[in-house]
Amino acid sequence: MVSRLTAIYHVRTKGAAIAERARAIAVEQSVEMPVAAIDDRFVLDEIVGKVEATRALDKDLFEVRVGLAAVTVGHDAGQLLNMLFGNTSLHDDVLLHDVELPTDLVALFAGPRHGLSALRRRVGADKRALTCSALKPQGLAPAALAELAKKFAAGGVDYIKDDHGLADQDYSPFAARVEAIATALAAYPRTRYVPSLSGDLGAMRRQIAAAAAAGVDTAMAAPMVCGAANFHRLVEENPGFAFVAHPALAGAARIAPPLLMGKLLRLLGADAVVFPNHGGRFGYSPETCRALARAALAEWHGLHPTVPVAAGGMTPDRVPEMLDFYGADIMLLIGGGLLQARERLPDETAAFVAAVQSFPYG
Amino acid sequence: MVSRLTAIYHVRTKGAAIAERARAIAVEQSVEMPVAAIDDRFVLDEIVGKVEATRALDKDLFEVRVGLAAVTVGHDAGQLLNMLFGNTSLHDDVLLHDVELPTDLVALFAGPRHGLSALRRRVGADKRALTCSALKPQGLAPAALAELAKKFAAGGVDYIKDDHGLADQDYSPFAARVEAIATALAAYPRTRYVPSLSGDLGAMRRQIAAAAAAGVDTAMAAPMVCGAANFHRLVEENPGFAFVAHPALAGAARIAPPLLMGKLLRLLGADAVVFPNHGGRFGYSPETCRALARAALAEWHGLHPTVPVAAGGMTPDRVPEMLDFYGADIMLLIGGGLLQARERLPDETAAFVAAVQSFPYG
């Protein structure tokens, strides 16, 4: 018997239709053809998706558990997503809610190479929340971004990431930007710069090499933009780098945020994962955010915990509330909320950092 | 003044809120920070997204046109998607409906290298619809898939594609599969085999090289799985290959299918694009399918037309109806509907092919 994974869907349909709908999803996500036309014993026994269980969650809403052979995934993170949700993502009555993976598949992808403890250690933090800010707006030249970075670092922030809109544009090419910012931050060895990688895998490899040459050891990428397999390849190839995953384009496919950001991106090696915190510019509920953070941190096949990074329109006055909500195992990302302070940016940053450092963690 | 693109969103909100919501989207998709905190003249004038127009489409449903600087895209297909929908994909109330691009950006990505006429020419077809079938189920060994391919080819089908679940699995490694199938099809020079590429960019490059070595000149990939930039890189690097794009992971309804499959994938170089036809296993409406096919074929910046490939549970008895609906500029893909014929597969395939070839195109 081959090892198996379970994809868990939430399906909206009239009650009477659910058994047939569940079977159709199991077929769609595996053999994609009439099962009656299949003779091959191995395919029938192992490859055809199997509905393991169906249960009602609410009126016309069901949980459907589909078992799939792990061998269908090959050794490919993209194919993992394809098996979980490739065609079914095109059905608007289905959401991919969760997944259970066999140990061999988890071992194949192996999760974060660093994770929470290492991300604390790198910036000299004890068991407290981490702080982060963002370099923006896009359109600024490298020198202006480097000036901003220096101010954040002077305020004592732990991680400074590129805005995910900063790519390899003519007005701020990646290599020139990284060089300028890394140079500016040389005087602040406890602050880590996190440049945003973009482009095809070749471009991202060149960007990582340029970052490493400038002394950078952390980078951000958007796995749903660059492709899960390419993200995972970068993680494998750069064991010294810590990777922050950005959720850009993650919304289009209707994968539950706690699964995608808290679990799948962790599996593929994200040491930290940015998500839009409730009450900011995005509509995630407190429950979704809590589930996402818990998934990222939970004991799961022995993988390192991934740092949840609460972002998306946060402000310094929300620090106590967010730390009450998440506890110490969180990174708080405040970008625009600090940039608004303008000439008082280093002071505001220092106040943000102090609020996080002095918080009475429970 | 730099060249600009326009992203067109459909936004669901109470009428009174739309002006503010539109401004928020324009900021989210560009500078992602409070505009009041920006001093830089270039950023304010050119980079901050601008709401060009807002109009009501229906009760609580609005079209919002946002202008963005083309220079923010750099030279990167992934960044194009990021600028169009990166963070806004995380908002449930917004759909990316359409896009208008400046000529310089279109020229950068350049569209299909071959397109409709070339895909006809390669299989010796005159101005008629093209035929396609699919090798499945996944789980079969290369020899069994090669046997199937031979039967489809004996029936005279134009293109034989891998099921998109066929990746690089242990039970059917890509190289062995392509070798077996290409060998089996050597006796049928008018039929084209379309292997499915998967994995990271490096793996896909090795797969294309193996396919080329076996005499194959057409390949399929799923841009939303492998990343748009990697798909586009393969198109650029392999001008002799025709590329079929598969919609796996494209999600339902958040990026309008006519835009994503008919326009954006065409822009990135898809010579053909598979989509789920109405009345099959998927829920696209006839109107969506018609709009998608029209977008793929329409005159657009002088790009080659992309062949729409109607798929997803089609059956031979629907051929006349589908050709009435789409006309001659379509590829009909029937997979499971032919495989059900079992030992009569070559005959059923021949009947499908004859129905398409003898159809009285208007």
State the number of CA atoms in the 13 A half-sphere of B80 facing the CB.
Answer: 27
| B72 contacts on A by Cβ (under 8 Å) | 138-139, 165, 167, 169
What distances in angstroms separate CA B17 from CA A214, B14, B37, B88, one per listed residue?
A: 46, 6, 23, 17
> How high is the pLDDT of residue B362?
80
Check CB contact under 8 Å for A43 and B203: no
pLDDT confidence bin for B44, thresholds 50/70/90: very high
| B33 contacts on A by Cβ (under 8 Å) | 136-137, 163, 335-336, 339-340
Check CB contact under 8 Å for A90 and B31: no
Check CB contact under 8 Å for B31 and A282: no
Placement of tokens 């490919």 in the chain: A76
CB nearest A335 (choices: B24, B33, B78): B33
Q: In chain A, which residue's Cα lies nearest the Cα of B275?
A: A90
Helices B142-154, B345-357: axis angle to 10 degrees equals 40
Check CB contact under 8 Å for A249 and B85: yes
Q: Pairing state of beta strands A61-69 and A4-12?
A: antiparallel
Q: Distance (Å, rounded) from C-alpha A54 to C-alpha A11?
A: 10
| B170 contacts on A by Cβ (under 8 Å) | 71, 74
**Which H or E element spans position B325?**
helix B319-326
Of B207, B119, B86, B191, the C-alpha closest to B149 is B191
| B226 contacts on A by Cβ (under 8 Å) | 78, 227, 229-230
**Which H or E element spans position B354?**
helix B345-357
- When the pLDDT of each residue in chain A is averaged and rounded to a whole number, the result is 96
Q: In chain A, which residue's Cα lies nearest the Cα of B313?
A: A33
Q: Distance (Å, rounded) from C-alpha B12 to C-alpha B10?
A: 7
User: Which structure tokens are listed for A274?
Assistant: 């940015």
B41: CB partners within 8 A, 6+ apart: none
Model pLDDT for residues A102-150, shown as the tens digit of each residue: 999 999 999 999 999 999 999 999 999 999 999 999 999 999 999 999 9
pTM: 0.96
**Cβ–Cβ < 8 Å for A334, A352:** yes
**Cβ–Cβ < 8 Å for B81, B264:** yes
CB nearest A40 (choices: B144, B281, B283): B144
Check CB contact under 8 Å for B198 and A229: yes
- Select from B20, B96, B226, B274 the residue whose CB has the most chain A CBs within 10 Å, as the one to mutate to test that interface: B226
The beta-strand segments (E) located in chain A are 4-12, 50-58, 61-69, 94-100, 130-135, 159-162, 192-194, 218-221, 242-245, 272-276, 307-311, 331-333
Placement of tokens 């909206």 in the chain: A12
User: Which structure tokens are listed for A259?
Assistant: 């699964």
| A73 contacts on B by Cβ (under 8 Å) | 167, 169
Check CB contact under 8 Å for A34 and B91: no
In degrees to the nearest 10, what's the CA dihedral of A192, A193, A194, A196?
180
> How high is the pLDDT of residue A251?
84
Q: Specify which residues A308 forms β-bridges with.
A: A273
Task: Reply yes or no on whether the pLDDT at B148 is more than 90.
Answer: yes
User: Which structure tokens are listed for A169?
Assistant: 């544009």
Q: How far is A264 from chain B (nearest CA, A)?
A: 14
In degrees to the nearest 10, what's the CA dihedral of A164, A168, A173, A179?
60
Check CB contact under 8 Å for B251 and A203: no
Model pLDDT for residues B196-213, shown as the tens digit of each residue: 999 999 999 999 999 999
| B249 contacts on A by Cβ (under 8 Å) | 81-82, 85-86, 89, 253
Task: Reply yes or no on whether the pLDDT at B271 is more than 80.
Answer: yes
> How high is the pLDDT of residue A254?
86
> How high is the pLDDT of residue B1?
52
| A23 contacts on B by Cβ (under 8 Å) | none
Q: How far is B320 from chain A (nearest CA, A)?
A: 22
Task: Give the DSSP per-residue string, B231-254.
Answer: HHHHHHH-TT-EEEE--TT--SSS
B260: CB partners within 8 A, 6+ apart: B247, B250
In single-letter form, the type of residue at position A174 comes to F
| A254 contacts on B by Cβ (under 8 Å) | 251-252, 254
Q: Distance (Å, rounded) from C-alpha A33 to C-alpha B315?
A: 12
Rounded mean pLDDT, B331-353: 96
Placement of tokens 């994968």 in the chain: A255
A358: CB partners within 8 A, 6+ apart: none
Task: Reply yes or no on whether the pLDDT at B252 is more than 70.
Answer: no
CB nearest A336 (choices: B37, B169, B171): B37
pLDDT confidence bin for B251, thresholds 50/70/90: confident
Q: Specify which residues B64 forms β-bridges with.
A: B9, B54
Task: Reply yes or no on whether the pLDDT at A362 is more than 90.
Answer: no
Check CB contact under 8 Å for A283 and B93: yes
Model pLDDT for residues A157-204, shown as the tens digit of each residue: 999 999 999 999 999 999 999 999 999 999 999 999 999 999 999 999
Check CB contact under 8 Å for A93 and B168: no
| Residue A176 neighbours by CB distance under 10 Å | 15
Q: Distance (Å, rounded) from C-alpha B197 to C-alpha B223?
A: 10
Q: Say yes or no: ipTM exceeds 0.85.
A: yes
CB nearest B76 (choices: A36, A38, A199): A199
**Which H or E element spans position A205?**
helix A201-213
